[in-house]
Structure 1
Amino acid sequence: METTELLKKVRKIEIKTRGLTNHIFAGEYHSAFKGRGMTFSEVREYQYGDDIRNIDWNVTARFNSPFVKVFEEERELTVMLLIDVSGSRFFGSTHQLKMGLMTEIGAVLSFSAIQNNDKIGVIFFSDKIEKFMPPKKGKRHILRIIRELIEFKPTSDKTNISEALRFLTNGIKKRSTAFILSDFIDFKETNSTQPNYLEAMRIASNKHDIVAIRVFDRREAELPAVGLLKVKDAESGVDKWIDTDSNSVRDGYAKWWNQATLSVNEIFSKCRVDSVSIGTDEDYVQPLVKLFKRR
């Protein structure tokens, strides 16, 4: 992509997502993802109703009058974006590709993070770690993230979510809030509905606050009746002809999709992971706001 064209795209996404962050997401994000720790702030004289467990006995003895420790919430977070850059992100049958939707959501979360004075980093993954951007603050860092979201080219088209989760668990020492942006199509084998990443997600969620944002296209959920259709697996490159006029073919595919979706949601539930599913034909604003309010 030429530099001028890239800068125009970055600017367009910045204007849109920064505006949404300023007017819609700022308060919701702050409430949903505020810091979990408590840090010592100061001491003050004891007041009726104060918890006696907070009395600072050293200061109390020095001044011969009761003083209590005052704590404040530790607001600063480390936020990580885990971005699925496998081949399936190029699918989209309506308004945009899954990649475009993930780019905008990633930008919104990035601007929300820096407005809350949080550090933000990114892990781009396929079936391996493609790129790691360590957590930092600042607008320049956010614009670099957006550029990478737009133009990053992975070396593999395959998916391994477990690899990304293991990297998060082992590589990010401080507890973080980690958003996984993916279609979560990563199953044990072809036609299986059992995801590959249960154990890795369980371990990661014990250390970090994981939030799953599942991006999908409605044509992945149901096949249109358009006769013989040649389809290509974006990750394996395998071509296949299917008869979409066949009720049994369409019903079988719909059954697989529904069961696969149920299995993915069960993993989120088992691992205590907050999640939201957003279609490429949807406005992502309301689903994200609802996600934030649920927390």
Structure 2
Amino acid sequence: MNRRLKTLLIKTKRQVFSEMIGNNPSLFHGEGYDFSELREYQVGDDIRKIDWTITAKLQKPYVKIFHEERELNVVAACMAGGSLFFGTHRIKHDVVTETAAILGYSAVKNGDLFTGAVVGDTVEQIERPTKRIFGVNRFVERVDGLNLLGRHSDYIGGIRSLFDRIKRKSMLFVIGDFLTDVDLALLSRRHEVIAVIVRDRFEEHPVPLGQVHLVDPESGRTLQTSFGERSVRKYRARVIENDKNLYRHLNRHRIRFVKIYTDEDPFGKLVKLFGGRV
């Protein structure tokens, strides 16, 4: 494991295990809860669990205590395409790697099962479900070490392959840049799907560059062209149309999503996605 990845894992582990304290014990919770008992409020309890009716009657704060019915199976599906090999602040690949680590450590901390998958045209790698930090580290190291150039991420065929491989109902995070046609409908019928959209701001708001030599990181094809004002407008229109279709699709199938730019902290964005419940 290289020094850069070790530093990232130390930072991420500290965020998950040190900052998830007090009223915010975990990034996500189990699928279901049974009511267990009422007890008087204690310092450190989640104030959202206060039963205000009983509190008003007894003139003392009381909280509802629940126990989880089932553990979660948390799946991080990393879409491994050459387009992730791009970034102005840092490359998108690094953000995907860090996001997978956050999800893995959060699952372990919560006592849930974590499964990691690498998806291209099909499911290329899939880790056995684990509750151990070692298992999370192993998957994250594999994601970080991927050679993305020449790879294609297929959000239709690859996702269909993922559906065939993940049988158990899961909280399934699809992590990628979503810059192509997407179909998560089938996946959302069995799982709770969350789309983590990783982008660089330059991809959405490019500036004229003049004469440039471009290389497609997925196909390897090259193009010598002038990227001026007209080219910028045409490119922006295609990105806007792609994202309109994407958001329409996600909303239609009630799939939550979060967009993380390469200059942002993935941990903070995921915390916000789950309503501050870290």
TM-score exceeds 0.5: yes
Residue 156 of structure 2 is aligned with which of 147, 157, 162?
Answer: 162
Q: 1:293 maps to what in 2?
A: 275
Structure 2 residue matching 1:108: 3-state secondary structure: helix
Rounded Cα–Cα distance in structure 2 between residues aligned with 1:229 and 1:154: 22
Rounded Cα–Cα distance in structure 1 between residues aligned with 2:123 and 2:25: 27
Q: Contact 2:74–2:112 (CA<8 Å) still a contact in 1?
A: yes
Residue 280 of structure 1 is aligned with which of 262, 268, 272?
Answer: 262
Letter paired with 1:90: F
Larger Rg over CA atoms: 1
Q: Contact 2:31–2:70 (CA<8 Å) still a contact in 1?
A: yes
Return the offset for 1:102: 0.8
Q: Normalising by structure 2, what TM-score?
A: 0.81
**Structure 1 residue runs of 4 or more that deviate by more than 4 Å after TM superposition:** 25-29, 38-41
Letter paired with 2:265: D
Residues 146 and 253 (structure 1), Cα distance of their counterparts in 2 relative to 1, 3 Å cut:
same
Residues 7 and 252 (structure 1), Cα distance of their counterparts in 2 relative to 1, 3 Å cut:
closer
Task: Tell which deviates more after alignment, 6-15 or 206-215.
Answer: 6-15
- Compute the RMSD of aligned alpha carbons: 2.6
Rounded Cα–Cα distance in structure 2 between residues aligned with 1:111 and 1:172: 20
Residues 37 and 221 (structure 1), Cα distance of their counterparts in 2 relative to 1, 3 Å cut:
same
Residue 33 of structure 1 is aligned with which of 28, 49, 53?
Answer: 28
Q: 1:172 maps to what in 2?
A: 166
Mark the runs of 5 or more structure 1 residues left unpaired by the alignment: 1-5, 42-69, 187-194
Residue 114 of structure 1 is aligned with which of 108, 122, 135?
Answer: 108
Structure 1 residue matching 2:160: 3-state secondary structure: helix
Letter paired with 2:220: G
- What is the CA deviation profile of residues 80-108 of structure 1, one whole-angstrom value per residue up to 9, with x for unaligned ones? 11001111111112x21000111111111
Rounded Cα–Cα distance in structure 2 between residues aligned with 1:235 and 1:294: 37
Structure with greater helix share of residues: 1
Structure 2 residue matching 1:277: 3-state secondary structure: strand
Letter paired with 2:238: W
- Structure 1 segment 73-92 matched on structure 2, within 5 A: 73-92=68-87
Q: Find out whether 1:146 has 2:140 as its counterpart.
A: yes
Q: 2:57 maps to what in 1?
A: none
- Structure 1 segment 1-295 matched on structure 2, within 5 A: 6-25=1-20, 30=26, 33-37=28-32, 72-93=67-88, 95-153=89-147, 157-186=151-180, 195=181, 197-198=182-183, 201-245=184-228, 247-293=229-275
Rounded Cα–Cα distance in structure 2 between residues aligned with 1:122 and 1:18: 17
Q: Contact 1:123–1:131 (CA<8 Å) still a contact in 2?
A: yes
Q: Contact 1:113–1:119 (CA<8 Å) still a contact in 2?
A: yes
Letter paired with 2:132: G
Rounded Cα–Cα distance in structure 2 between residues aligned with 1:29 and 1:92: 33
Q: Contact 2:85–2:148 (CA<8 Å) still a contact in 1?
A: no
- What is the CA deviation profile of residues 133-189 of structure 1, one whole-angstrom value per residue up to 9, with x for unaligned ones? 121111211111121121134695112122332233222222100111100122xxx
Q: 1:191 maps to what in 2?
A: none
Q: Contact 2:149–2:218 (CA<8 Å) still a contact in 1?
A: no
Q: Contact 1:81–1:121 (CA<8 Å) still a contact in 2?
A: yes
Letter paired with 2:254: R
Return the offset for 1:10: 3.7
Q: Contact 1:90–1:98 (CA<8 Å) still a contact in 2?
A: yes
Q: Contact 1:181–1:213 (CA<8 Å) still a contact in 2?
A: yes
Structure 2 residue matching 1:293: 3-state secondary structure: coil
Q: Contact 1:82–1:164 (CA<8 Å) still a contact in 2?
A: no
Structure 2 residue matching 1:33: 3-state secondary structure: coil
Residues 179 and 7 (structure 1), Cα distance of their counterparts in 2 relative to 1, 3 Å cut:
same
Rounded Cα–Cα distance in structure 2 between residues aligned with 1:78 and 1:249: 45
Rounded Cα–Cα distance in structure 1 between residues aligned with 2:34 and 2:167: 19
Rounded Cα–Cα distance in structure 2 between residues aligned with 1:185 and 1:265: 12
Q: Contact 1:214–1:275 (CA<8 Å) still a contact in 2?
A: yes
Mark the runs of 5 or more structure 2 residues left unpaired by the alignment: 37-64
Letter paired with 2:235: Y
Return the offset for 1:281: 1.8
Q: Contact 1:29–1:292 (CA<8 Å) still a contact in 2?
A: no
| Identical-residue share of aligned pairs (%) | 28
